[in-house]
Amino acid sequence: MAVDLEPTTSNVPTMHQRQQPETTVEFRKKALALNIPSTPNTTSTTTSVNTSNNSNTSASSNPDASTSSPTSSPMKQPLVFKKPTKHQFTWSELSKMVASKDLTPMGRSEAVQEAYQRAIKRRTKKYGSPDEYIRQRILHWPPAEQDSASTPSSGASSDGNESSTSCSSISPPSSPTGPVDPLEITLKKNEFPYSVKPGIEHWLIWSRHPLTDEVWIRRYLEERLPGRDYLFFINPPELRSVPSIFHVQVFTKGEGEVLDEGDMEVKKEVQEAAQEAARIASGLDE
């Protein structure tokens, strides 16, 4: 299987060969002269993935996974762009990557990646950031500075990027099997999908608050993807290109229709009507 791997050169110190070994004293003198620490300062990124097995494979990275980042700097973190790939991933390959927690090989085709980066430039110029474009035009949320939900406690930092250590205490709706407020949680097709074989679709669950319950996510998808297979996962912080808005990556395939919240309202009404008819019929039988 030909798979392009993500570059892993960031935060990796360059190794230099020395002609002669230095003593500790000589090294410290040079360090002081160059105003650098005499011992290396290393940071690490930790992510956690939970998996469960049923007819649909699923895995979700812990949205609270810690990643070290400077909090004192006012500068925004650079956008993350995954390396484009010439490979179209099959359902079997996607399933294995999700199950093994190895998400870095996933990427967009070169053409889609180029279109994505052009769109980001346009949207940043008009809206200030691609995240803000998605908030206002795709999700129909208010601007971040006017949105009471967009506070550091709900996962957004003051510079507009998602805090890797904060998590909202607000829970999703108690029942994912019924209609939910589309301004709180919504399922949208990815404008710039990863490179997958024909017949596989790439969708996203966007949420105003982090979704930490994998069972809730699975039930939400089962109701909206009837008769379809699906996979879902949450990218770790270092792989998120839209860091300030919580979202779940979803791959799905099959003949069933993808239901939106309007469809869910109709489905609920039909179920309630059927239950009422059954009650009436039961009373007549008595």
Using one digit for the tens of pLDDT, what is the confidence trace for 75-88?
A: 455 666 778 999 99
Domain ranges for the chain: 48-61+78-259
- For the chain, how far is it from start to end, CA to CA, in angstroms? 65
Place of tokens 């879902």: 232
Mean pLDDT, to the nearest integer, of 229-255?
93
Considering the chain, what percentage of its residues have pLDDT values greater than 70? 59
Structure tokens, 225: 């993807």
The two structure tokens encoding residue 219: 């039930």
Nearest to 144 by CA among 155, 153, 132, 152: 132
Could you report the per-residue pLDDT of 135-147, keeping only the tens digit for each? 999 999 988 888 7
Average pLDDT over residues 7-31: 43
With a cut of 90, say whether residue 225 has pLDDT above it: yes
pLDDT one-digit tens code per residue, 41-99: 333 332 333 333 344 655 544 444 333 333 343 445 566 677 899 999 999 999 999 99
Q: Distance between CA atoms of 28 and 16, rounded to whole angstroms?
A: 17
